[in-house]
Each structure stands twice: as structure tokens, then as C-alpha cells.
């Protein structure tokens, strides 16, 4: 099996351009983002009485301007009737409050995602940054890099300037009837705690949020201040659940292009994580902190923004390996981990208990 052999049946739309039809009544709109990851895909689900919008882009002034332009041009005459938000991250939830307020729309999202957004909204960006910096310090990051993370700051509240009133809290197993089609809500963890994917069994469509991107690995960061303990374990367990979907499912991801090859993609992700864990366990023959281990997984020194993501990821790896009993904590300041004595070896990690080979 070639892990990355995916097929891309539909040409991607331009950023800020006309929506592309993915299936009957399902349209793919691409919004610009001012990051290295320069776009997000949002989905429009056609209905008689107006369309459902899935995800909203940032809540920045430029992003709202982009929406106004779209409504004036390619979305002219289309009435949006509700908004579904997959998860609390800035590029998904960002513009929801303003769009909902301007157009009187109900917003649907899961309770946990809404709570995460609420926690980050109660704090100033400086407070959020201070909490992160403190964690990174405990995990061995040196002062000059701590300063870089602090200077880069946190931008949650600038990019999600308002929280919408949520009309309906989505939960795993719910069915949303949209445009004559039943969409089952499948909640997945790890990238965020209770991300909502939407699955149409009749048409084999999965709106996958950030859980299964075609060509980049979803960031899985540990954020203890948001109540997370083992997000990488949650992420892998969620893949296990999505492995039950049929092979011919068309995946609609939030970044990158629509693709077939769900199981191949999952196998590729699991193989990638497994390789990372083998390297980390080899490095942890001696006690190592998360900061020590950055060089084991990342060849280049990350810039300040990427450093925060990389530290969050490394903390998630360590929490996962610690939960599995592969690593033990050997010192407190900073937190250093070593392969647990008597651990049968990293081969155990390679045992395929995350999920079996796809059988669909």
C-alpha cells in the first residue's frame, strides 16, 4: 500500500473566487488567510430556504471585507440560513459572530468547542500568552526562545472578536437534515477537543474540518490550560472511528483539496506518527525535555510562531508516550522524560493497535 496515493477529482477554486460544485447542492468556497497556510475551505450546503454555511474564516477586518465582496459578487442572491462551525480555531469560528449578527443566523457547534472559545475569550491575549510561556518554560525552553514566543503573542481574540450565541449544540450521532440530505455529526478529538465532522452516508461525503488534511499533518498540541491531557491519544482514537467509513468516501478538508483515499491518508498519518515516536524514544535513552527534543523531529529551527506549535506538539507527544507507559518523568525543573526502565521497547509502539488495516 502506498500511503499517500490520494486522488483529487475536483479542481480547487481560487481564493475569494466562485464556489465550485463538489456534489449536488454542495459547494466549495475558498477564503484567503494571511498566513503561510494561505486559505481555508468553507462549504455551502444548498437548501430551498437558504443555504447552510460550514465554517467562516477569520473575524478580522480583511476577512469580513472578503465576505462582503463575495456577497456582492459570486454569492449575490444567495441567502444563508445558518452557520455550522466545526471547531473553535480562529479560521473556523472567527467571522461567525459578525455574520450571524448581520444576517440574523443561528449558529451550531459542539458544546466543548464553544467552551474552549469561551475560555480564550475570558482572558486577554497577554494572559493566554503568559500561560503558554510558563508551560514552555517548564518544558525546558530557554529564555531567548521564550522571549520570541512572548513577542509573537497570541491573537485569538483579535481573530475571533466576538462569540456568537449558539442556537444548537451539536453532539456525536446527531443528524442534520440539510437540503434533502442527512448529515451525521461525527465528533473527533485531538486537533481540537470535540470537532464536528459531517458525514453523508447516502452520498459518501465527509466534511472533515482539520482532522484529515490531504497534504499536511493536523497540528495536535497539548494545551493543559484548556483541560487537555492526551490529545494525541484522542486524535489517534478518532482516526480509528473514521476508519469505519467506506473506502469511496469523498473527503472535504478545511485546507488543501477534496480527495478520495481516506484510509490511505490515515495509514500515512499513523505511519508518520509512529516514525516520530521511534525517534523520540531513541532520543529519550537519556532524560530529555520537550525543548531538547525539538531538534529530533524538526530539522530547521522554527520561527517564533511555529515554535509555539512545535512545543505544543512535542508536549502532546510526551503526554502520549507517558500515558502509554513508554516514558517516565525523571525530573521536575524542567520536566524531563526517559524511556521507562523495563519498557519492552519502541517496537511495541509499532503494534497496529491504533487501527487495523482498512477492510472497506
Nearest distance from C-beta of residue 70 to Zn ion, angstroms: 22
User: Is residue 210 within the footprint of Zn ion (CB under 5 A)?
Assistant: yes
Q: What is the dihedral of CA 250, 252, 257, 258, to 10 degrees?
A: 20
Nearest distance from C-beta of residue 191 to Zn ion, angstroms: 6
Site string for Zn ion, 291-310 (x = CB under 5 A): --------------------
Rounded CA-CA distance 14/150 in Å is 35
Site string for Zn ion, 211-240 (x = CB under 5 A): ------------------------------
| Chain position whose Cβ is nearest to Zn ion | 89
User: Is residue 89 within the footprint of Zn ion (CB under 5 A)?
Assistant: yes
Nearest distance from C-beta of residue 119 to Zn ion, angstroms: 16
DSSP state for residue 249 in the 8-state scheme: P
Phi-psi region of 36 (alpha: psi -120 to 50; beta: other; left: phi over 0): alpha
Rounded CA-CA distance 290/141 in Å is 8
By CB under 5 A, the count of residues binding Zn ion is 2
Kindly indicate which of the ranges 18-26, 34-42, 205-213, 301-309 contains the residues binding Zn ion, using the contact rule CB under 5 A: 205-213
Kindly indicate which of the ranges 83-91, 106-114, 293-301, 314-322 contains the residues binding Zn ion, using the contact rule CB under 5 A: 83-91
Of 27 and 89, which CB lies nearer to Zn ion in the complex structure? 89
CB 19 within 8 A of CB 31: no
Of 89 and 317, which CB lies nearer to Zn ion in the complex structure? 89
Nearest to 136 by CA among 283, 290, 276: 290
Kindly indicate which of the ranges 88-96, 170-178, 324-332, 334-342 contains the residues binding Zn ion, using the contact rule CB under 5 A: 88-96
Kindly indicate which of the ranges 89-97, 175-183, 307-315, 322-330 contains the residues binding Zn ion, using the contact rule CB under 5 A: 89-97
H helices of the chain, in order, are 61-72, 90-93, 96-103, 111-122, 125-138, 143-152, 156-159, 231-242, 262-283, 290-297, 304-323, 347-350
Of 194 and 210, which CB lies nearer to Zn ion in the complex structure? 210
Kindly indicate which of the ranges 115-123, 203-211, 220-228, 289-297 contains the residues binding Zn ion, using the contact rule CB under 5 A: 203-211
DSSP string, 124-182: -HHHHHHHHHHHHHHTT--HHHHHHHHHH---HHHHS--PPPEEEEE-TT-EEEETTEE
User: Is residue 39 within the footprint of Zn ion (CB under 5 A)?
Assistant: no
CB 178 within 8 A of CB 81: no
Interface positions with Zn ion (CB under 5 A): 89, 210
Amino acid at each position: 500500500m502506498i500511503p499517500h496515493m490520494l486522488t483529487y477529482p475536483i479542481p480547487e477554486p481560487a481564493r475569494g473566487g466562485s464556489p465550485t460544485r463538489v456534489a449536488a447542492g454542495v459547494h466549495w468556497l475558498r477564503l484567503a488567510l494571511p498566513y503561510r497556510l494561505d486559505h481555508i475551505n468553507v462549504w455551502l450546503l444548498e437548501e430551498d430556504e437558504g443555504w447552510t454555511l460550514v465554517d467562516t474564516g477569520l473575524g478580522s477586518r480583511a476577512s469580513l471585507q472578503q465576505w462582503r465582496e463575495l456577497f456582492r459578487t459570486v454569492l449575490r442572491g444567495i441567502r444563508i440560513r445558518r452557520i455550522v462551525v466545526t471547531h473553535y480555531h480562529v479560521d473556523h469560528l472567527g467571522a461567525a459572530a459578525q455574520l450571524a449578527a448581520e444576517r440574523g443566523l443561528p449558529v451550531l457547534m459542539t458544546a466543548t468547542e464553544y467552551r474552549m472559545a469561551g475560555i480564550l475569550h475570558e482572558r486577554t491575549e497577554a494572559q493566554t500568552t503568559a500561560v503558554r510561556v510558563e508551560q514552555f518554560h517548564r518544558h525546558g525552553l530557554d529564555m531567548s526562545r521564550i522571549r520570541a514566543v512572548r513577542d509573537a503573542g497570541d491573537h485569538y481574540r483579535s481573530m475571533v472578536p466576538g462569540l456568537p450565541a449558539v442556537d444548537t449544540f451539536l453532539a456525536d450521532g446527531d443528524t442534520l437534515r440539510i437540503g434533502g440530505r442527512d448529515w451525521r455529526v461525527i465528533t473527533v478529538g485531538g486537533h481540537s477537543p470535540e470537532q464536528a465532522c459531517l458525514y453523508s452516508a447516502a452520498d459518501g461525503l465527509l466534511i472533515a474540518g482539520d482532522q484529515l488534511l490531504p497534504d499536511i499533518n493536523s497540528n495536535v498540541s497539548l494545551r493543559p490550560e484548556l483541560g487537555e491531557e492526551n490529545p494525541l491519544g484522542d486524535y489517534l482514537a478518532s482516526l480509528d472511528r473514521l476508519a469505519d467509513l467506506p473506502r469511496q468516501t469523498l473527503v472535504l478538508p478545511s485546507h488543501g483539496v477534496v480527495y478520495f483515499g481516506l484510509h490511505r491518508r490515515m495509514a500515512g498519518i499513523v505511519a508518520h506518527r509512529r516514525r516520530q515516536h521511534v525517534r523520540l524514544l531513541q532520543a529519550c535513552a537519556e532524560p530529555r525535555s520537550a525543548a531538547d527534543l525539538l531538534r529530533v523531529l524538526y530539522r530547521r529551527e522554527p520561527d517564533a510562531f511555529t515554535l509555539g506549535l512545535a512545543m505544543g506538539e512535542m508536549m502532546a507527544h510526551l503526554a502520549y508516550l507517558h500515558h502509554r507507559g513508554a516514558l517516565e518523568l525523571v525530573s521536575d525543573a524542567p520536566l524531563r522524560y526517559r524511556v521507562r526502565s523495563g519498557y519492552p521497547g519502541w517496537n511495541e509502539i509499532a503494534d497496529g493497535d491504533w487501527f487495523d488495516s482498512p477492510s472497506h
